[in-house]
Amino acid sequence: MRVVLVLTALAFLSSGTVLAADERPDPGLMWNRTGLPLTFPLQVKSPPGADYIVTLTDTETATPALAAYIRGGVFFRVLVPPGTYRVRFDYGTVWHSAEESFAGQKTLHLDNPLTFETRGIGRKAGHLVDLTEMDLDQDTAAAPRTQEQVLCQVSRTEIRPNCRLGDETCEPTEKSDVYTSPYGINSRYDFSRESYTRLCD
């Protein structure tokens, strides 16, 4: 009888752990309390074996600005608002709830605040935080490595002729796919513009 009770208790605890894991937040943004647009990159590299909540706190007001959930060992990037923030990582292996977060939760603070800002024209300065050297079994973790991550906005314009080059008898279409002349003249060319971001050289 005692063996049956022990096995039942173990099964209950095991199912509870699985349920807690299934109820973890989805990876990504949890909340943004700044009201500002999310435009600057924050990338985090983390080891497997635990999940993390990263919280950004405004250095001027000392109020939490943004939080995001990270699955350990999985690629993670989130866009954050402009500003200078203190960064805190709470982490653990078993998720309890939004109010209690992790069981046996541990916390890591970055020593220096991170600034997210626009530099020049089309250059957005963010950061990469590398936690892969953390020892999850210790109360204190190895100092994380940080480096700037700057994204450049690039625009490309494509010109497509509506008529073959040199064909003076061609009548341009009345309405092009993209471009409409402000003078009411049918265009001999279509113009399209594409914008995207990439890591700056």
Ranges of the chain whose pLDDT falls below 50: 1-19, 176-177, 179, 181, 183-185
Residues 6+ apart with CB under 8 A from 71: 24, 27, 51
Q: Which amino acid is at 139?
A: D
Q: What is the pLDDT of residue 172?
A: 55
Q: What is the per-residue pLDDT across 11-54, written as a single tens digit (0 to 9) for each?
A: 433 433 333 555 889 999 999 999 999 999 999 999 999 999 99
How far is residue 153 from each of residues 27, 178, 196, measured CA to CA in Å?
A: 26, 22, 6
The answer to whether 146 touches 114, Cβ cutoff 8 Å, is yes
The answer to whether 82 touches 58, Cβ cutoff 8 Å, is no
Q: Which amino acid is at 109?
A: H
Residue spans per domain, the chain: 25-201
Please, which residues bridge with residue 106 across strands?
91
Q: Is the pTM of this model over 0.95?
A: no
Q: What is the pLDDT of residue 8?
A: 43
> How many Å apart are CA 148 and CA 171, to the nearest integer?
53
Q: What is the pLDDT of residue 123?
A: 83
Q: What is the pLDDT of residue 44?
A: 97
